[in-house]
Amino acid sequence: MNASNFYGLTVSTNRFINRGGSGLGNKKEILRGAEIFVRALKEEGVKFVFGYPGGSVLHIYDELFKQHDFEHILVRHEQGATHAADGYARATGKPGVVLVTSGPGATNCVTGIATAYMDSIPLVVFTGQVHTYLIGNDAFQEVDSIGITRPCVKHNFLVKDVRNLAGTIKKAFYVATSGRPGPVVVDIPKDITADSCEYDYPKSVEMRSYKPVSKGHPGQIKRALNMILSAKKPMIYTGGGVILGEASGELTEFVRLLGYPITSTLMGLGAYPATDKQFLGMLGMHGTYEANMAMHHCDVLIAIGARFDDRVTGDLEKFCPDASIIHIDIDPSSISKNVPVDIPIVGDVKFVLKELIALLNEGRQIPDKQVFEPWLKQIREWASIDCLKYNRSSDVIKPQYVIEKLYELTGGEAYITSDVGQHQMWAAQYYKFDKPRRWINSGGLGTMGFGLPAAAGVKLAFPDQTVACITGEASLVMCIQELSTCKQYGLPIKIILLNNRYMGMVRQWQEMFYSGRYSHSYMEALPDFVKLAESFGHTGMRIEKSGDVESALKEALSMKNELVMMDFVTDQTENVYPMIASGKGHHEMHLSPERELA
Amino acid sequence: MRHILSLLLENEAGALSRVSGLFSARGFNIESLTVAPTEDPTVSRMTLVTSGSDEIIEQITKHLNKLIDVIKLVDLNDNRHIERELMLIKVSAKKEDREQIKQLVDIFRGRIIDVSENTFTVEMTGTGDKLDAFIGALDKTLILEVVRSGISGILRGDKALHM
């Protein structure tokens, strides 16, 4: 047994174990758990670990001190660690790695884990745990991390024997990144990190209870193709699965071959180029008029890597009333969950799209443009109302204008993270993403505070790229402490703060549905964001007039080595339009108070 | 409709809570749930009785299959199957009631497995319906304690759910 003091600091008695095998033909190294941990992460090709030390992970931190294979990024709050790892994962496609201590270290991660779970982001989160012999004793900084995280992880593991540590880490990375990705928690008691065993990192992993599918059913694919080719009013609706499945290239090829119109969910933006003429913009609650109308009136709907979320479908009773639906998804439980599907294809989106393209090319079966030209004409009419029009000549800064200018000045090439609320919707509407993994936001869980730490994770992955966090003053302060992390590691992100002194989306709903009773949505006692940035060692700017927006953005973007907090004082009453109120269908959009539809 | 789902799952700590947690998180019903290790100590067999529309049952089976610990799953309702439940029931058995209770137990092919001055303890197996019927046939005031195992089920004929 290890001696342990009040803080859970221990002195391992096996520290001086004889290394290098017993001399009986056993050439395997004997390593302590903490050393195994570090080796395993190296084997997995981990570049960054986002973490925060504490009693139960001190053996591991001691090993981190001695190694140079990967970098540990010290965050200022464990929630920040999960969001930063998440941002890194979304931008790179590689798993994000987190290391925190037991108890509060683990509970502080829960929001970030749930955020990743809802958007199917691969994370491997290592939580320290009290000694195995103390588990269940209400020990200092003990919490049932496995129990607390179980509903919001793809899977979790408690390591109870050091001999299982390497194998468990291998499994954790495999489960997190394969099939429909998701976060995996590995809970490691402190004594496991002190115990020793032979080190043997598995080359591959085979789990009898976990065999993710890849290929779609060939018969279903053929049936789907026939339905696709028979469409007179086709519509393609894609989601985050296309990005997670690295199928952007295949999607673009497939959609161009067909010539059909395409829309995307919030999570799928960038999978198909937003500037392409076939792209109708985002759909759903704050989607474009043309995308939602085309959804409502289509006769064949091709859903790819999307999950028919309630913010996307509107009222299910009114959803796509005339459409036969094809749904391609890797997760069988996504199929017919909310909307009954005519032709389901369970499989990896990339593989299924490749098959569909091959069949199209093989049979030289390209849809007859004459057949669906009237449909495209109808869509062009819907688009001609220009549903994203706003007052561009306003003196007061319009939030949409800031995003349009940012888009122009970055050539659409920046990595954009966001928080949650009005600014998030405006970013999705006005920043046109032509490439996947550039748009990084918490779509499913809607986690305020995500944007800043996520931007830090992205900037670490792509130090030479422009990374901007579009946020609001309410969201930003939820993880504001990560400005300190950005200073420590020199992460010159640009914070585009659309400051309307309200929780904008809450205020918008209160205006529309609660007769203007703005209950607790007004942000009083805000900090001076310029001084706040400066106090963390960054640069701050306040921009109060429309005419100054462009020059300020240019200046900030030119400051390559500075984190710039740009406090844009925006129109307090601006709302996000168009909008489908809850309980309404795609065809019942509300354009704006000034522009009602017949 | 009532469905009996049979599962093979990893005999790991927490596997049961993953299954029960799934049902509570997604608002699915559980009528009964039994679990025990199989001939392979690394594998547990679970029988779960649930109810819902075809769509709900489809979602339940998909979500169960998605759990990493679940190795195999069969909806016994899709196949010819046998179901059994074990009940232990303690009844008040005063002198004047003893003969009548004994007869009733015999009719239901139960066994009296413990006797005290004032009680019988009865063991009975059968479908849930049969056990319900036995309880229904007893005078309610005589029932002291009912312990039911929940349904266990198995496929008929040559078909078997194994690794």
Residue B23 CA to residue B2 CA, distance in Å, equals 15
Could you list the mean pLDDT of each consecutive 10-residue stretch along chain B, which spans 163 residues?
A: 95 92 94 95 96 94 96 94 97 94 97 97 96 96 97 94 84
Task: Name chain A contacts of B69, Cβ cutoff 8 Å.
Answer: 209
Give the SS3 label for residue B156.
Answer: coil
Q: A340 contacts in B (CB within 8 Å)?
A: 55
Best CA proximity match to A428, nearest among A592, A240, A176: A240
What ipTM was reported for this prediction? 0.91
What confidence tens digit (pLDDT) does each residue in A271-316 have? 999 999 999 999 999 999 999 999 999 999 999 999 999 999 989 9
A484-504 per-position pLDDT tens digit: 999 999 999 999 999 999 999
pLDDT band with cut points at 50, 70 and 90 for residue A592: confident
Mean pLDDT in residue range A21-46: 85
> Where are any strands of DSSP class E within chain B?
2-10, 32-37, 43-51, 70-75, 81-92, 111-115, 119-126, 143-148, 152-155
Q: Which of A267, A285, A503, A505 is catalytic?
A: A505
Give the distance from CA A69 to its chain's centroid: 26
H-only helix segments in A19-57: 33-43
User: Is pLDDT at A26 greater than 60 in this prediction?
Assistant: no
Q: Which residues of B touch A158 (CB under 8 A)?
A: 13-14
Does residue A308 have an active-site annotation? no
CA A376 to chain centre: 32
Q: Do B18 and A158 touch (CB under 8 A)?
A: no
Alpha-carbon distances, residue A196 vs A163, A191, A582 (angstroms): 8, 10, 57
Confidence band of A520 (pLDDT split at 50, 70, 90): very high
> Does the N-terminal peptide bond of residue A578 adopt cis geometry, omega within 30 degrees of 0?
yes
Binary contact (A151, B70; C-beta < 8 A): no
* CB-CB neighbours of A511 under 10 Å: 17
The tokens describing A219, both together, are: 């018969």
Residue A316 CB-half CA count within 13 A: 9
| Cα A56 from Cα A66, distance rounded (Å) | 18
What the block records as the tokens of A17 is: 């174990």
Q: What is the mean pLDDT of residues A506-527?
A: 95
- Residue A137: how many CB atoms within 10 A of its CB? 10
Contact A158/B at CB under 8 A = yes
Rounded CA-CA distance A535/A434 in Å is: 36
* Residue B111 C-alpha, separation from nearest chain A C-alpha, in angstroms: 40
B18/A333 touch (CB, cutoff 8 Å), yes or no: no
**Does the CB of A208 have a partner CB in chain B at under 8 Å?**
yes
Name the residue among A136, A438, A114 with its Cα closest to residue A273.
A438
pLDDT at residue A22 is higher than 90: no
pLDDT at A25 over 70: no
Contacts of B110 (CB under 8 A, 6+ apart): B122, B123, B124, B134
- List beta partners, residue A379: none
Give yes or no: A141 in active site: yes
Locate the DSSP E strands across A102-150.
Answer: 123-129
DSSP tag of A20:
S
pLDDT interval class at A317 (50, 70, 90): very high
d(CA A288, CA A285): 9
Which two three-digit tokens encode residue A218? 């060939």
A118 has catalytic annotation: no
* Mean pLDDT confidence for A157-165: 97
pLDDT class of A403 with cuts at 50, 70, 90: very high
Looking at CA atoms only, how far is residue A307 from chain B in angstroms? Answer: 14
Among the partner residues B10, B25, B55, nearest to A336 by beta-carbon distance? B55
User: At residue A553, what is the residue type?
Assistant: L
Indicate the range of A22-36, A103-117, A128-142, A373-387 predicted with least confidence.
A22-36
Average pLDDT across chain A, whole number: 94
Residue A108 is predicted with a pLDDT of 98
Q: What phi-psi label fits residue A541: left (phi over 0), alpha (psi between -120 and 50 degrees) or beta?
A: beta
β B81-92/B143-148 pair status: antiparallel
Catalytic annotation on A140? yes
| CA–CA dist A77, A108 (Å, integer) | 8
Residue B28: other Cβ atoms inside 10 A = 18
The pLDDT > 70 percentage for chain A reads 95
Q: Which residue of B has its CA nearest to A341?
A: B55
Is the pLDDT reported for residue A4 higher than 50? Answer: no
What number is the average pLDDT over the span A11-19? Answer: 42
Residue A126: pLDDT over 60: yes
**Gap between the Cα atoms of A441 and A429, Å rounded:** 13
Query: Chain B within 8 Å of A338 (Cβ-Cβ)?
Result: no
Dig out the tokens for A40 from the structure.
Answer: 């395993």
**pLDDT recorded at residue B13:** 85
Rounded-to-integer distance, Cα B30 and Cα B10, Å: 20
Phi, psi values for residue A24, rounded to 5°? -100, 45
Checking if the pLDDT of A1 tops 90, the result is no
Torsion A544-A548-A553-A555 (CA) sign: negative
- Give yes or no for A151 touching B (CB within 8 A): yes
**pLDDT confidence bin for A17, thresholds 50/70/90:** very low
Q: What is the pLDDT of residue A365?
A: 78
Residue whose token pair is 């004082």: A569
Strands (E) across A459-563 are located at 467-472, 494-499, 539-543
What 8-state DSSP symbol labels residue A228? H
Cβ-based contacts of B27 with chain A (< 8 Å): none
Check whether A13 has a pLDDT greater than 70.
no
The question of whether A413 is a catalytic residue gets the answer: no
CB within 8 Å of A94: residues ≥ 6 apart: A45, A47, A88, A122
Q: Which of these, A405, A532, A547, lies nearest to A468 by C-alpha position? A: A405
Q: What is the pTM of this model?
A: 0.93
How far apart CA A491 and CA A169 sit, in angstroms, is 29
Lowest mean pLDDT among A57-71, A567-581, A583-597: A583-597
pLDDT band (50, 70, 90) for residue A19:
very low
The pLDDT, as a whole number, for residue A597 is: 63
Cα A49 to Cα A99: distance, rounded to the nearest angstrom: 7
DSSP secondary structure of A126-193: EEEE--GGGTTS--TT---HHHHHGGGSSEEEE--SGGGHHHHHHHHHHHHHSSS--EEEEEEEHHHH
Residue of A nearest to B71 (CA): A209
Dihedral (Cα; A360, A365, A367, A371), 10-degree rounding: -160
Give the span between the Cα atoms of A63 and A68, in whole angstroms. 10
Pairing of strands A439-440, A343-346: unpaired
% of residues, chain A, pLDDT over 90: 90
Residue B12's alpha-carbon distances to A124, A190, B120, in angstroms, are 20, 21, 38
- The catalytic residue among A79, A129, A141, A508 is A141
DSSP for residue A56: G
The confidence band for A386, taking pLDDT boundaries of 50, 70 and 90, is: very high
User: Is pLDDT above 70 for A115?
Assistant: yes
Q: Rounded CA gap, A142 and A138, in Å? A: 6
Window 353-372 of A, Cβ < 8 Å to B: none
Residue B94, number of CB atoms within 10 A of its CB = 11
Answer yes or no: do B68 and A332 touch at CB < 8 A: no
- Which residues have a Cβ under 8 Å from the Cβ of B36 and sit 6 or more positions away? B44, B45
| Helices A349-362, A218-229: inter-axial angle, 10-degree rounding | 60
Least trusted range by pLDDT, from A23-32, A281-290, A442-451: A23-32
- CA nearest neighbour of A187 among A129, A268, A237, A226: A129
